[in-house]
Structure 1
Amino acid sequence: MEKDKKNNSLEEPFTEYGRYSYADYLTWEIEGMVELIKGKVFREVAAPKMRHQAISVNVTSKLFYFLEKKTCKVFAAPFDVRLPVNSKKDEDITTVVQPDICVICDPKKIDEAGCIGAPDLVVEILSPGNSKKELKYKYEVYEESGVKEYWIIQPEMENLMIYTLKQGKYVASRLFTRGDVVKSTCIEGFELDLEDIFGHL
């Protein structure tokens, strides 16, 4: 696939050709969210729906106030998370994702470009167009890179699933829904009442 030299954009289709790195990613000027997963490009053109954004704000704010004055920090998309395998060089990194919400407890992983290395907690809020990406591709890279907890929220179904990393593999929780209070194992003391998240939409 040829790169447009005038504006450094890429021609479609993004996911069918080539293998790209974070170094390539930094040269692109593309509207909408773009992520790299194992060298393949995934583009989300449409803006998230209202329910998605409302849930994101609710969860982010609860994490923000809980973590205030603590070492761990919460970030919401757009925020680049680079997941290196063997090398942290831009040209060697082939996975760059923008989780809806992430919590990072190691300050050394945070720089001006975002995060380099696995966050402790990742929260993804599904949209109709990106469910396959979250459920398959991101699940794999989060597990492989060592994300301790991976939360998947389904706005339309009003539920939440937690995947906890144990001995290098994710173990799924039961399905949580309105009326449940979920607890994080990696963010000690943090609880989320799902009635607060879904009850005001």
Structure 2
Amino acid sequence: MVQALERSLTFDEFLESYPDDENLYELMNGAVVPVKPTGPHGRVSAFVLRKLIVEVEKEDLPFFIPQTCYVKPQSDKAGYLPDLVVLDERTIDEDPRWQKESTISKGTSAQLVIEITSSNWRDDYERKLPDYEEMGIAEYWIIDYLALGASRHIGSPKQPLITVYQLLDGEYQFMQFRGTEPVRSQVFPNLSLSVDDILAALQPRPK
């Protein structure tokens, strides 16, 4: 699919031509891009997912976390597949794309979107960030556990961090958390999670 489709696609065309090959893809500026998470990337995602599920159940929050969810920004040439999306049970049925496409197109459908950086870190910081802001998604995290982002995004010297963007008057304001600093989230105010927790989860357990 990636080699055969050289012309720029709309999001609807992207969904219609999506291959049945068990691989994952995103649409970036009309181009189909394969998503190939590494093993450590998958472990980070699984660890954070477990933490969030515990909070949802403990606090009895009206949220759920789908296995797969596309986010379609206002551009008709893009469709993103975040690492984690926390959807709102109270508003999701108002999203016209959810029932048939497992896709959200309204900012009110999601409480939180999380991207975990990899070699395509520029997409997380420079492409998806403004699109999620424009959609009105209330909270967006970038988990940069390998400190891959440019210094203009994560500071210098580079070190692993979580950047939390929260919508205020239509614009994202951000906070950055390193080391043992607990993430401060409006969506999960009682969550206990730090960068060191994530890094520790990547260490092999003693036999």
> Do both share a fold (TM > 0.5)?
yes
Do structure 1's residue 98 and structure 2's residue 89 form an aligned pair? no
Secondary structure, counterpart of 2:17 in structure 1: coil
What TM-score, normalized to structure 2?
A: 0.74
Task: Using the TM superposition, give the Cα deviation of residue 133 of structure 1 relative to its aligned residue in structure 2, in angstroms.
Answer: 1.2
Task: Using the TM superposition, give the Cα deviation of residue 42 of structure 1 relative to its aligned residue in structure 2, in angstroms.
Answer: 4.2
What TM-score, normalized to structure 1?
A: 0.76
Match for residue 18 of structure 2 among 14, 25, 28: 28
Q: CA 1:41/1:179 → structure 2, altered by over 3 Å: closer, same or farther?
A: same
Do structure 1's residue 153 and structure 2's residue 138 form an aligned pair? no
Distance (whole Å) between structure 1 residues aligned to residue 198 and residue 118 of structure 2 = 16
Match for residue 59 of structure 1 among 40, 45, 48: 48
Distance (whole Å) between structure 1 residues aligned to residue 92 and residue 69 of structure 2 = 15
Task: Using the TM superposition, give the Cα deviation of residue 34 of structure 1 relative to its aligned residue in structure 2, in angstroms.
Answer: 1.9
Give CA-to-partner distance per residue, 1:55-96, whole Å, 9 cap, x none: 1000011111211253111234x42223457xxxxxxx5432
Higher strand share: 1
Secondary structure, counterpart of 1:199 in structure 2: helix
Secondary structure, counterpart of 1:185 in structure 2: coil
Secondary structure, counterpart of 1:165 in structure 2: strand
Match for residue 18 of structure 1 among 8, 13, 16: 8
Q: What amino acid does structure 2 have at the position aligned with 1:145?
A: M
Q: CA RMSD in A?
A: 2.4
Matched ranges for 1:1-201 at <5 A:
9-11=1-3, 17-29=7-19, 32-37=23-28, 39-44=29-34, 47-68=36-57, 69-76=60-67, 78-84=68-74, 93-105=76-88, 106-108=91-93, 109=95, 110-116=98-104, 117-118=106-107, 119-128=110-119, 130-157=120-147, 158-173=160-175, 175-201=176-202
Contact preservation (8 Å) 1:22, 1:94: no
Give CA-to-partner distance per residue, 1:127-172, whole Å, 9 cap, x none: 01x1111111111110100111110011213311111111111112
Distance (whole Å) between structure 2 residues aligned to residue 171 and residue 10 of structure 1 = 36
Distance (whole Å) between structure 1 residues aligned to residue 14 and residue 194 of structure 2 = 41
Query: What count of residue pairs does the alignment treat as equivalent?
Result: 179
Give unpaired runs (5+ residues) of structure 1.
1-8, 86-92
Identity among equivalent positions (%) equals 23
Contact preservation (8 Å) 2:55, 2:188: no
Secondary structure, counterpart of 1:65 in structure 2: helix
Contact preservation (8 Å) 1:74, 1:101: yes
